[in-house]
A and B are shown apart, each in its own frame.
Chain A
Amino acid sequence: MQEHDMSWVRTEMTLAQPAPPGERGAYAWVRKNLVASVGDTILTILGIAIVAWILPQVINWAFINAQWTGPDRTVCATVSQGGIQPDGWTGACWAFVNAKFGQFMFGTYHIEERWRPILVAVLFVVLLVPMLIPRVPRKGLNAILLFLVLPVVAHFLLVGGVFGLPHVETSRWGGLLVTLSLSFVGMAVSLPLGIALALGRRSQMPIVKWLCVVFIETVRGIPLITVLFFASVMLPLFLPEGVTFDKYLRALIGVSLFAAAYMAEVVRGGLQAIPKGQYEGADSLGLGYWQKMGLIVLPQALKLVIPGIVNTFIGMFKDTSLVLIISMFDLLGVVKQNFSDPNWATPQTPKSGLIFAAFVFWLFCFGMSRYSMYTERRLDTGYKR
């Protein structure tokens, strides 16, 4: 055997050399992301111009020139408009939002009774937060409390009339209270209803199937306002004389039916995505229809369509603002109603109020969409590319 001298083989790895200076650090990032080519540079300059044009105006308006507190419209009006600000002044009138904050939250709910919606809100948060955190145990109990017990408790607390609580008519409800309660009950009703409609649409029974198809397609083809008109103008005609529905309840029925039709289509998408083998496997195990759906198909189907469900929820949350059309005052409605308050009418008032409302809506919707993205990632048990 001949001995091989292996000393020329390197026994230790050489350290990787740092990337050339042109490929790292802030300079490279700028070159790659902002000025990669001539066109890119033009776009960047355009972008900087847009930002430089808008951002200072927004910051000036919303923070620097803004009026945060004040007794009435004079703080937000210029001298020529009868106020104290110099002519040519523009700025947000947060004083308006500040002064009307109670109304924006509760509408005209009696001030001495406002602890009731606040208590409901606290209960809601206390029940919702553990529901949203996956690690907290006892989800079943939590869900029962949140979706069955809370609505009943909230109903008695908000409406009153029992246990010595004074009665508050729903016509006095308003603001965020209406927005949140309408959308929460709407969500809780539309999901099961939507699942039922989706199952009905895929049913073997032709009459059930066609009823569901007609309902879903009709509701999806018309605007929510028409549905609300239907609920507010036609429902009273449908009922025998003397039976009247509360306006709030009518809006609730309209919004829930509308959302249920969209939910049904989302759920149907999930049902169709489940391979036939799953259905057949369940059949071959001898499971009945409800066992098959409840234990095998729906858990998989619903997991697939979480983004769609949350999108429908977000859409519904935004759509509750339309109850304004049938003269109920949700957050947007109350804000708009207060534009005409002569104590606060200035050119800056509408913009400030609307931006406040937009911010509140945005917080809720953005929160929902981020949570859905998180859930999607968490439940993604499939293969990843």
Chain B
Amino acid sequence: MASQEILRQEPGRGSFINDPKIRALFFQTLVVIVLFVSIWWIVNNVIENLQRLHIASGFQFLRNRAGFDISDTPIAYTSDATYGRALIVGLLNTIIVAAAGIVLATIVGFIIGIGRLSQNWLIRKICTVYVEIFRNIPPLLVIFFWYSGVLAVLPPPRESYHLPFGSFLNQRGFYFPRGVWGDGSWLVLVAFVVGLAMAWFVAHRARQRQMATGQQFPVFWTSVGLIVGLPVLAFLLAGMPLTFDFPKQSTFNLTGGFQIKPEFLSLLLALSFYTAAFIAEIVRAGIKGVSKGQSEAAAALGLRSGPILRLVVIPQAMRIVIPPLTSQYLNLTKNSSLAIAIGYPDLTATAGTVLNQTGQAVEGVFLMMIAYLVLSLVTSAVMNVVNARMALVER
């Protein structure tokens, strides 16, 4: 076969310069050489600079005494604790503010996003104004606004605002009664867990029954009854073992109760209001992304507007919503590093202090990067699981 002979011939003509494989090899070798030379140069410089500045290297400093105080400590911490513990406190603070922010931003964002699609002209406009304002100003500015514009000009403790349920609001933050659980309160917790398990079981069985017979069961109200009702019943049976530690006003300060510091409050409010504007847009795009034929078909099948939304539109909208929602959650987590600007001791702030005190910039920045990368990866992993459950099941 002559033609095959020709095809089998090597493309011998042309110099090897034009061979894509050789070119790729050449360029990559070049890249690797440049990379190694620059890394070698940088490492050399770093070592030289560190020696000149008499800065130690390595992670031994994590075991040294920190010697600085942290204002918000979710775990026990004093200035005698180690740098390592200080960083952990910072990390925990970051996680707390990020988690609270995500919950609040999601709630506000969904309300505003659905509001932007409302039939009601006024509601639509209010939500649009909200989104357009918050999307177009820097989050740091929002944080400052809450911190120095709103919370710092509240009255001093002596003239605190009295709010319902014995809580107070003043310059030093928001105080509310702290619940103190007495004997037998474990019963409530057990009841709650049992309620959750039973609700899950009921939902499972109801689903099986609906698949088999088509009969429906009021799962939602049963679950509410089980999850709320059982603990309430246990609470009453145990003899109401809950007392409240109310904040009390003294001459200069408030004592007792649970205090939320203004730094945390302004960071939380700013982050969640800012992110909520983006989440609102995502939700709106998601709901608009479900084609009109879907809800029309559901209406033709005789579903009412509530079930149409619940069974047809929202499950499909969630598929569009979840991936960008995940990146907003990641953004919120990363933006929580702005805490440093108002002195909330999150990871960046504590790592910054550690870095200044020890001078070990390389290790400090490295630890910071690793911590944020891990947080991002964990959030993405959780959201990917949610996404996989929501995804379209195709053959």
B152 nearest in chain A by CB position: A350
Whether A233 contacts B120 by the Cβ 8 Å rule is no
For residue A9, CB closer than 8 A to chain B, the reply is no
**Cα distance A278–B253 in the bound complex, in angstroms:** 71
Which positions 151-200 of chain B face chain A at CB distance < 8 Å?
A: 152-153
Q: How far is A36 from B120 in the complex, measured between Cα atoms in Å? A: 8
A sample of 16 cross-chain residue pairs with beta-carbon separation below 8 angstroms, ordered by A number, consists of A43-B123, A44-B123, A47-B123, A222-B334, A223-B337, A223-B372, A224-B337, A226-B368, A229-B352, A241-B52, A322-B138, A322-B140, A325-B340, A354-B144, A365-B137, A366-B132
Asked whether A230 is an interface residue with its Cβ less than 8 Å from the other chain, the reply is: yes
Question: CB of B128 within 8 A of chain A?
Answer: no
- B56 CB-CB contact with A under 8 Å: no
Residues of A within 8 A of B24 (CB): 204-205
Chain B contacts of A204 at CB under 8 A? 24
Q: A33-B121, A44-B122 are in contact. Are A225 and B338 (CB under 8 A)?
A: yes
8 Å CB contact of A369 from B136, B152, B368, B373? B136
Contact assessment for A221 and B365 in the assembled complex, using a CB-CB cutoff below 8 Å: no
- Report whether A43 and B144 are in contact in the complex, using a CB–CB cutoff of 8 Å: no
Residues of A within 8 A of B (CB): 33-34, 36, 40, 43-44, 47-48, 50-51, 204-208, 211, 218, 221-226, 229-230, 233-234, 236-241, 314, 318-319, 321-322, 324-325, 332, 336, 339, 347, 350-351, 354-355, 357-358, 361-362, 365-366, 369
Q: How far is the CA of A241 from the CA of B93 in the complex (A)?
A: 38
Q: Is the CB of B365 within 8 A of A239?
A: no
Verify if B242 is at the interface (C-beta below 8 Å from A). no
- Which residues from A are CB-within-8-Å of B136? 314, 318, 361-362, 365-366, 369
Residue of B nearest to A336 (CB): B144
Contact with A along B113-133 (1 / 0, CB 8 A): 000001111110010000011
Residues of B within 8 A of A366 (CB): 132, 136
Q: In the complex, which residues 336-384 of chain B have their Cβ closer than 8 Å to any Cβ of chain A?
A: 336-338, 340-341, 348, 352, 355, 361-362, 364-365, 368-369, 372-373, 376-377
**Minimum distance in angstroms from B19 CB to a CB of chain A:** 14
Choice from A50, A233, A354 contacting B148 with Cβ under 8 Å? A354
B interface bracket (residues with beta carbon within 8 Å of A): 35 or more
**Does any Cβ of A come within 8 Å of B135's Cβ?**
yes
Contacts of B336 in A (CB 8 A): 223
Assembled-state Cα–Cα distance A241/B122 (Å): 63
Partner of A319, one of B121, B138, B368: B138
Q: Is B224 engaged at the interface, CB distance under 8 Å to the other chain? A: no
Residues of chain B within 8 A of A238, CB atoms compared: 42, 45-46
Q: Is B149 on the interface with A (CB-CB < 8 A)?
A: yes
- State how many angstroms separate the Cβ of A213 from the closest Cβ of chain B: 14
The answer to whether B27 touches A208, judged by C-beta atoms less than 8 angstroms apart, is yes
Is B372 a contact of A221 with CB atoms below 8 Å? yes
A208 touches which of B31, B42, B133 (Cβ 8 Å): B31
- The answer to whether A221 touches B377 (Cβ under 8 A) is yes
Q: B: which residues have CB within 8 A of A? A: 24, 27-28, 31-32, 35, 42, 45-46, 48-50, 52, 118-123, 126, 132-133, 135-141, 144-145, 148-150, 152-153, 330, 334-338, 340-341, 348, 352, 355, 361-362, 364-365, 368-369, 372-373, 376-377
Whether A44 contacts B120 in the complex (CB less than 8 A), given A223-B337, A226-B348, A226-B368, comes out as yes
Among B123, B338, B362, B377, the residue within 8 A (CB) of A237 is B362
Of B42, B153, B340, the contact of A347 (CB 8 Å cutoff): B153
Give the shortest distance, in Å, between A32 (CB) and chain B (any CB). 8
Q: What does DSSP make chain A's interface, helix, strand, loop or mixed?
A: helix
Q: Are B31 and A207 in contact (CB under 8 A)?
A: yes
Q: Which chain B residues lie closer than 8 Å to A230 at the CB level?
A: 365
Q: A362 to B355, Cβ gap below 8 A?
A: no
Q: Are the C-beta atoms of B377 and A361 separated by less than 8 Å?
A: no
Please determine whether B28 and A234 come into contact, CB atoms closer than 8 angstroms: no
Report B-chain residues with C-beta under 8 Å of the C-beta of A211. 31, 35
| Complex alpha-carbon distance, A208 and B46, angstroms | 25
Cα A339 to Cα B335 in complex, Å, equals 24
A317's nearest neighbour on chain B, judged by CB, is B138
Given contacts A44-B123, A350-B153, 15 further A-B contacts (CB under 8 A): A33-B120, A36-B120, A50-B126, A218-B369, A221-B377, A222-B373, A224-B337, A225-B338, A226-B348, A226-B372, A240-B45, A322-B138, A332-B140, A354-B141, A361-B137
The CA-CA distance from A205 to B30 in the complex, in Å, is: 12
- Contact for B141 among A34, A36, A43, A332, CB less than 8 A: A332
B141→A205 contact, CB < 8 A? no
**Chain B residue with the shortest CB-CB distance to A225:** B337
Q: Please give me the 9 A-B residue pairs with the lowest Cβ-Cβ distance, nearest first.
A: A365-B136, A33-B121, A223-B334, A47-B122, A318-B138, A350-B148, A223-B337, A351-B149, A321-B138
- Report yes or no: A241 in contact with B372, Cβ–Cβ below 8 A: no
Contacts of B152 on A, CB cut-off 8 Å? 350
- Which residue of A50, A51, A233 contacts B361 across the interface (Cβ within 8 Å)? A233
Distance in Å: Cβ of B252 to nearest Cβ of chain A:
19
Cα–Cα, bound, A226→B32 (Å): 27
Select A332's contact among B48, B118, B138, B377, beta carbons within 8 Å.
Answer: B138
Q: How far is the CA of A354 from the CA of B140 in the complex (A)?
A: 10
**Bound CA–CA A365/B132 (angstroms):** 10
Residues of A within 8 A of B139 (CB): 318
Residue pair B46, A237 in contact (C-beta under 8 Å)? yes
Would you give the shortest CB distance from A333 to chain B, in whole angstroms?
Answer: 9
Contact A205 B28 (CB under 8 A): yes
Q: How far apart sit A34 and B120, CA to CA, in the bound complex (Å)? A: 5
Contacts of A229 in B (CB 8 A): 348, 352, 355, 365, 368
